[in-house]
Amino acid sequence: MDLPEDIESQKKEILKGSYSHAELLDEYFERIEKYDTNINSFICVLKESAYKQAKYCDKLISQLGNEAYNKYPLLGVVTSLKDLFSVKDVRTTAGSKLLSNYYSPYDATVVSKLKYAGIILIGKTNCDAWAHGSSGENSDFGTTKNPWNYKFVSGGSSSGSSASLASNFCLISTGTDTGGSIRLPANFCGIVGMKPSYGAVSRYGIIAMASSFDCVGHFSNNVTDSEKIFNIIKGKDKYDATTTDVNRVVTKDRYTLGVPKDYFQKGLDKEIKDELKRVIDIFEKNKFNLKEIDLPLSKYAISVYYIIQPAEVSSNLARYDGIRYGFDRSYFGSEAKRRIMLGTYSLSAGYYKKFYIKALKVKSKISEELKKQFSDIDAIISPVSPTLPFKIGEKINDPLKMYLADIFTVAANISGIPGLAIPSNISSGGLPMGFQILADKYKDEMLFDIGKKFEIFNNSKIIKPKLI
């Protein structure tokens, strides 16, 4: 059986009777059993409940046919969830053994919306513990390997989500992006990754990392599917006071894209630079306006992020005391301890004004700088990572090098703007390459429009790795 490439093609095949949802699940579980021992993308699979939902989906199709999709737009779409998402009566670990005995008593808002839309939940995916990482190597349940080459990282912290989708273990997946944790693994695994505007999607029921930066997003095989998912999970939620309704934006035939010259400096891999120039040429050939822009404050984004984020981490992790649920703090890994110490230090008396308050001021300046640019341009095009996927073990013992993997992604989280990572090509070494587009806050739909246009311009095909 050929697995569906996107939501629409699955719908067509189901309605044609090419296969049932139960038969589709058979294929997915067979692939997981055969290949995930090597990749390690899942923390748990949910066979019993998945087959129960598949049979229900098949019953709806037999009774209602195409009408079933009017009520359930994601009917039968096999989905994996990052293990930060609370699912009722399912273990939720955040990639940490501290929570290895925790079963959530409720669904996260996004999970409720996806379930109501008709998904089949196939399992919970591996991630850097507490979402602390850019490589997937900080999970207490082992490293998630890149499906394109098992010697390389899959990106983090949403490592298992991106790898499970790239490996054809599911059709869509969810993730969180606090400093690049959707866009980076999407880029490393050759799939589409969406970080919405801050407040566009509810964080209720998602284990918090840094509350002023955390965004709930998703992975898909193409931009059209990404837009469909966003339209289901977005919106105001009474359980999350930061949420708001995102209004539709006016789309155009052609856009003006800003190219930050500050991002093409020393440290950007030559092959990535050449690929980004090729992508820019494609937009120019299709009558998009390209404008070089200055973002001089962007060089401070990574410093600002790694002051404010650990401060919020130290606060959020304080609740895990082993009294109400989970085990005691001795189960925290080295990266969690590092961030707790950094955050506590920057919040301590004598350093609070020197570091934390100063970082908040620079954060505001970076947001203002980006806002000003969006008065003249529609979106920004930039690399996702300064390098191609790196080898497992290459940076794990050098935290500063690891943190620099986020250098092009953190500005979006600092300013709360949306970012869409799109695959564009395969490197000479057989690893995925791509880019990201960033828009002004709540202009998420503009990103989808630009992304869909690029897929047409580039004649993009969905390419999956050959697993071994």
| Catalytic machinery residues | 82, 157, 181
Q: How many CA atoms lie within 13 A of 248 on its CB side?
A: 4
Phi, psi values for residue 421, rounded to 5°: -90, 130
What single-letter amino acid sits at 414? I
Integer Cα distance of 181 and 176 in angstroms: 6
Residues 6+ apart with CB under 8 A from 456: none
Q: How many CA atoms lie within 13 A of 130 on its CB side?
A: 28
Q: Are 140 and 158 in contact (CB under 8 A)?
A: no
Residues 6+ apart with CB under 8 A from 350: none
Give the pair of three-digit tokens for residue 316.
């959020």
Integer Cα distance of 325 and 91 in angstroms: 12
Integer Cα distance of 147 and 129 in angstroms: 20
Give the pair of three-digit tokens for residue 286.
């299709």
H or E element in which residue 259 lies = strand 256-260
Q: Tell me which residue of 47, 45, 49, 218 sits closest to 123, measured CA to CA.
A: 45
Integer Cα distance of 257 and 421 in angstroms: 15
Integer Cα distance of 248 and 426 in angstroms: 34
Q: Are 421 and 182 in contact (CB under 8 A)?
A: yes
Q: Are 112 and 104 in contact (CB under 8 A)?
A: no
Phi, psi values for residue 289, rounded to 5°: -90, 130
H helix count then E strand count, the chain = 15, 13
